[in-house]
Chains A and B, each alone.
Chain A
Amino acid sequence: MAQATATVTRKPGGNKPKETSGMGRALVRRETISGYLFLLPSLIFFIGFVVVPMGICVVYSFLDYGMAGVEGFAGLDNYLRMLSDKTFHKGFINTVLIVVVAVPTVTAFSLWVSSAIYQMSAFTRSFFRCVFYLPVVTGTVAVTVVWKWMFNPYNGLLNQLTGNVGFDWLGNPNTAIWCIIMILFTTSIGQPIVLYVAALGNVDNSIIEAAQVDGATKLQVFWKIKWPAIMPTTLYILVITTINSFQCFALIQLLTSGGPFFSTTTIMYQIFDTVYKYNDFGYANAMGVVLAIIIAIFSAIQFKLAKTE
């Protein structure tokens, strides 16, 4: 590599190497340019498909924008409308409920399963990883079709087994949201389990053995050694699961369409409904902005609690 030929010295007390020759500076510049060139494709993609749509989303949120085009500047009207929109309030509560229930249970269950399987033989470990990852790679539509059949009030497996024929799990406002959370749970645990198995496998065994020699209990080993070691993975899982839970949409669209009585309507679903049913693009974008802010706040809380600093 070019680095091997660069002449560098370390400044006393400083951390950064300082180039001492013109050739070194040229090499660094060349490497920097190369680095940016390698970054360019993904940067273009990121700007084109993330940054620009974000900007458009924010701009549209201040417009009165419907099927006939932009009809004027709405100012803060779209945002103020959320304050009096009962469906939005219901959607917000449901969204928070899904996040508050799904995120801890997914994380805790994944950690529990991973702790149980990460020391097993490679074959057994792979088997369990496959089993738990299967719902992730299975299409959402296929998953929901199977669940819908299981929940069918008249012919569904669940009611046939429990002898509760006629009970409408997805049509009852008290059970529908919990059905959604349960299905979301089954489709969300695959990735965390794979990540936790890898993270737990990377914890230094010599430290664990030393602690055990010193008389540490299993709980102490987990809490004092493994838990801090897997904290970055936990934080990543928390953030990703939170975002996925906030953005839970396909399950709701395919299973309940937000009903009954808006009991499974989430902010994400309402955004879809507002765009495609009511063609109210300005309001939908305003809700998108608010959803992003809410997710950022939740992420901040998670970072704070995890004490990443």
Chain B
Amino acid sequence: MKKFLALTLSASMALSLAACTGGNTGSSTSGSTTSSSATSSSTSSTSGTGTTLKLWSFNVGTLNEKANWDSLIAKFNETNPDIKVEVEIITYADGDTSLSSAIPAGSGPDILFEGPERLVGNYGRAGLMVDLSDLWAEGGADIAEGIKSVSQLDGKYYMYPLSVAAHCMAINYEVFEQAGALQYIDQETRTWTTDNFVKAMEAVRDSGLVATPGIVYCGAQGGDQGTRALVNNLYSDYFVNDDGTSYNANSANNVKALTLLDEMVGNGSLSANAGFAAAEELQAFANGTCAVTFCWNYSNYTQYAAQTQFTPYAVAFPSDDGQPELEMAGPYGFGIFDNGDDAKIEAAKKFVKFVCDDVTAGTEAVKYTGFFPVHSDWGDIYADAEDADVRAPFAMMSNYLGRYYNLTGGWTEQRALWWNMLAEILVGGADPQTAADSYVEQVNANIA
């Protein structure tokens, strides 16, 4: 009997811990079978004529500071005093965990500020979001077609965008200069060819000025767009095929790119670290441990520039023809959760429309993100800014924007497997074609 009790208690401890892991997610949704019911018990309140909205924002640019949101909300409340907006900042490190716990439990946000990957690909696809077609019809005329296309799924718009930019890479200007590697970069267009990239990295390696010329990070915590863009650009290929029915890492050009990177790791002109996530690579770049970063944009510039004792110089990813195609940083915008309360949904739409379409508030909001407005009619909002020269290279990168793949089915699964494939090839020494074939086979299983 004692033994039985002891075993039962042991199992209880384990089971309760496992249950706690998912317990948050399900405590209030048992029996719920529809998307609306999953969020219907949202704790935001509508009392009398006043409506309280919960806005959760990822830490994009300086919108990671509540004071900046408060400034926007104060302006909104000048014309909408009955709508109260409560802001909660979540980070890319743990935001998904918070959302995964809160949404099924009915305590999630009414409005979420992020990009299409989550707003459209995750929550829109799961049927949790409100169709924002009316906002697009009213104010989306001057928004680029590419941004419009990634804001919708099957004809329903789940995101209304605010700002956009391009992900790029950056070099340590002084190290490149001393190593004689600047000659390989077209400083006017901030582009370089694949051949020149190889030569530049070898020059940096031979200079011995840094511990390693560059780090291909393979750790699974974000920043995957950097390594993806690096591989796809080297020989001008795409991550997904033209009609979006298959991932494309095993194409001849992408395998050629993976092979080149493997060779560069082999000869020391690059390193590959499966223990490094993008944040660690960025920190290594800021510390001067490596001379390039593959994960750069204005937001990262604002975060790391103060730590650097050199000039972080933004450049496009190298490509064989010198014509890079960069991935979008964002577009960042708003999605509204379908909480079953029409009054709150209407209030949420008012707020989103105000922040995204009002030129004054919108310009302020875009500047907080550090990116560029999606409304082409707004022009260059940074023209008179003190740091206009710092922003100029990032504005230039927007000229190289390419296709947006992040809404392809099975995106979450492919992200995890992408790191493994990279590490298998660059760290484990696997054959690039075999590893890429295996990766594509696995991720295509989830693409439907």
Instruction: Enumerate chain A interface residues (CB-CB to B < 8 A).
Output: 49-51, 53-54, 56-60, 65-71, 151, 153-155, 165-166, 168-173, 176, 239, 243, 246-247, 255-262, 268, 271-273, 275-279, 281, 284-285, 287-289, 291-293, 295-296, 299-300, 303, 308-309
* B37 proximal to A (CB < 8 A): yes
The answer to whether A296 touches B212, judged by C-beta atoms less than 8 angstroms apart, is no
The answer to whether B274 touches A67, judged by C-beta atoms less than 8 angstroms apart, is no
Compute how far the CA of A69 lies from the CA of B21 in the bound complex, rounded to whole angstroms.
Answer: 17
Which chain B positions have C-beta within 8 A of A49? 16, 20
Which chain A positions have C-beta within 8 A of B19? 53-54, 56-57, 285, 288
Minimal Cβ-Cβ distance residue in B for A293? B11
Q: Identify which of residues 281-301 in chain B touch chain A, using a CB-to-CB cut-off of 8 Å.
A: 284, 287, 289-290
The answer to whether B211 touches A166, judged by C-beta atoms less than 8 angstroms apart, is yes
The answer to whether B419 touches A53, judged by C-beta atoms less than 8 angstroms apart, is no
Which chain B positions have C-beta within 8 A of A289? 15, 18
Which chain B positions have C-beta within 8 A of A153? 271, 273, 275-276
Compute how far the CA of A53 lies from the CA of B427 in the bound complex, rounded to whole angstroms.
Answer: 41
* B221 proximal to A (CB < 8 A): yes
Minimal Cβ-Cβ distance residue in A for B94? A276
* B29 proximal to A (CB < 8 A): yes
Compute how far the CA of A90 lies from the CA of B271 in the bound complex, rounded to whole angstroms.
Answer: 27
Minimal Cβ-Cβ distance residue in B for A295? B14
Which chain A positions have C-beta within 8 A of B14? 243, 246-247, 288, 291-292, 295-296
Chain B interface category by residue count: 35 or more
The answer to whether B100 touches A279, judged by C-beta atoms less than 8 angstroms apart, is yes
* B372 proximal to A (CB < 8 A): no
Nearest chain A CB to B183's CB is how many angstroms away?
27
Query: Which of A59, A155, A292, A308 is close to B18, meaning CB atoms less than 8 Å apart?
Result: A292
Which chain A positions have C-beta within 8 A of B32? 69-70
Which chain B positions have C-beta within 8 A of A277? 96, 412, 416
- Map CB proximity to A onto B18-29 as digits: 1 under 8 Å, 0 otherwise: 111111011101
The answer to whether A50 touches B16, judged by C-beta atoms less than 8 angstroms apart, is yes
Question: Could you list 25 examples of A-B contacts with CB < 8 Å?
Answer: A50-B12, A54-B12, A56-B19, A56-B27, A57-B15, A57-B18, A68-B127, A153-B276, A165-B211, A168-B274, A169-B275, A257-B220, A257-B277, A259-B218, A259-B275, A259-B420, A260-B423, A261-B428, A271-B18, A276-B100, A288-B15, A288-B21, A291-B15, A299-B7, A308-B3
Minimal Cβ-Cβ distance residue in B for A287? B18
Query: Which of B7, B219, B277 is close to A296, meaning CB atoms less than 8 Å apart?
Result: B7
The answer to whether B427 touches A172, judged by C-beta atoms less than 8 angstroms apart, is yes
Q: What 8 pairs between A and B have smallest CB-CB spacing?
A: A288-B18, A171-B275, A260-B274, A171-B274, A57-B19, A170-B275, A53-B19, A292-B15
* B413 proximal to A (CB < 8 A): yes
Given the contacts A69-B29, A170-B275, A243 and B10 also touching, CB distance less than 8 Å: yes
* B60 proximal to A (CB < 8 A): no
Compute how far the CA of A292 lies from the CA of B11 in the bound complex, rounded to whole angstroms.
Answer: 5
Known pairs A69-B29, A259-B419 / 18 extra A-B pairs, C-beta < 8 Å: A53-B16, A54-B19, A60-B26, A67-B104, A70-B30, A153-B273, A168-B273, A171-B274, A172-B274, A246-B14, A260-B218, A278-B412, A279-B126, A288-B19, A291-B14, A291-B18, A292-B12, A308-B3
- Map CB proximity to A onto B125-136 as digits: 1 under 8 Å, 0 otherwise: 011100000000
Which of A59, A67, A281, A295 has most chain B Cβ within 10 Å? A67
Which of B25, B34, B276, B412 has most chain A Cβ within 10 Å? B25
The answer to whether A67 touches B126, judged by C-beta atoms less than 8 angstroms apart, is yes
Q: Identify which of residues 1-57 in chain B touch chain A, using a CB-to-CB cut-off of 8 Å.
A: 2-3, 6-8, 10-23, 25-27, 29-35, 37-38
Nearest chain A CB to B5's CB is how many angstroms away?
11
Query: Which of B11, B284, B287 is close to A295, meaning CB atoms less than 8 Å apart?
Result: B11
Compute how far the CA of A276 lies from the CA of B20 in the bound complex, rounded to whole angstroms.
Answer: 13
Compute how far the CA of A288 lies from the CA of B13 in the bound complex, rounded to whole angstroms.
Answer: 11
Query: Which of B10, B22, B103, B274 is close to A57, meaning CB atoms less than 8 Å apart?
Result: B22
Minimal Cβ-Cβ distance residue in B for A53? B19
Minimal Cβ-Cβ distance residue in B for A60? B26
The answer to whether B126 touches A68, judged by C-beta atoms less than 8 angstroms apart, is yes
Which of B13, B211, B423 has most chain A Cβ within 10 Å? B13
Which of B26, B35, B219, B271 has most chain A Cβ within 10 Å? B26
Query: Which of A51, A154, A261 is close to B423, meaning CB atoms less than 8 Å apart?
Result: A261
The answer to whether B123 touches A295, judged by C-beta atoms less than 8 angstroms apart, is no
Minimal Cβ-Cβ distance residue in A for B20? A53
Nearest chain B CB to A205's CB is how many angstroms away?
29
The answer to whether A155 touches B11, judged by C-beta atoms less than 8 angstroms apart, is no
Which chain A positions have C-beta within 8 A of B25? 275, 281
Which of A256, A260, A288 has most chain B Cβ within 10 Å? A260
The answer to whether A247 touches B127, judged by C-beta atoms less than 8 angstroms apart, is no
The answer to whether A70 touches B22, judged by C-beta atoms less than 8 angstroms apart, is no
Q: Identify which of residues 119-148 in chain B touch chain A, using a CB-to-CB cut-off of 8 Å.
A: 122-123, 126-128
Query: Which of B21, B23, B27, B420 is close to A272, meaning CB atoms less than 8 Å apart?
Result: B21
Compute how far the CA of A69 lies from the CA of B33 in the bound complex, rounded to whole angstroms.
Answer: 5
Nearest chain A CB to B338's CB is how many angstroms away?
11
Minimal Cβ-Cβ distance residue in A for B217? A171
Minimal Cβ-Cβ distance residue in A for B3? A303
Compute how far the CA of A169 lies from the CA of B427 in the bound complex, rounded to whole angstroms.
Answer: 12
* B189 proximal to A (CB < 8 A): no
Nearest chain A CB to B172's CB is how many angstroms away?
14
Which chain B positions have C-beta within 8 A of A281? 22, 25-26, 104
Compute how far the CA of A34 lies from the CA of B412 in the bound complex, rounded to whole angstroms.
Answer: 55
Which chain A positions have C-beta within 8 A of B287? 155
- Map CB proximity to A onto B223-239 as digits: 1 under 8 Å, 0 otherwise: 00000000000000000
Minimal Cβ-Cβ distance residue in B for A59? B30
The answer to whether B18 touches A285, judged by C-beta atoms less than 8 angstroms apart, is yes
Nearest chain A CB to B91's CB is how many angstroms away?
14
Which chain B positions have C-beta within 8 A of A268? 18
* B86 proximal to A (CB < 8 A): no
Which of A66, A170, A247, A259 has most chain B Cβ within 10 Å? A259
Query: Which of B211, B290, B420 is close to A262, meaning CB atoms less than 8 Å apart?
Result: B420
Minimal Cβ-Cβ distance residue in B for A253? B221
Query: Which of A247, A291, A300 is close to B7, meaning CB atoms less than 8 Å apart?
Result: A300
The answer to whether B420 touches A261, judged by C-beta atoms less than 8 angstroms apart, is yes
Which chain B positions have C-beta within 8 A of A261? 274, 420, 423-424, 428
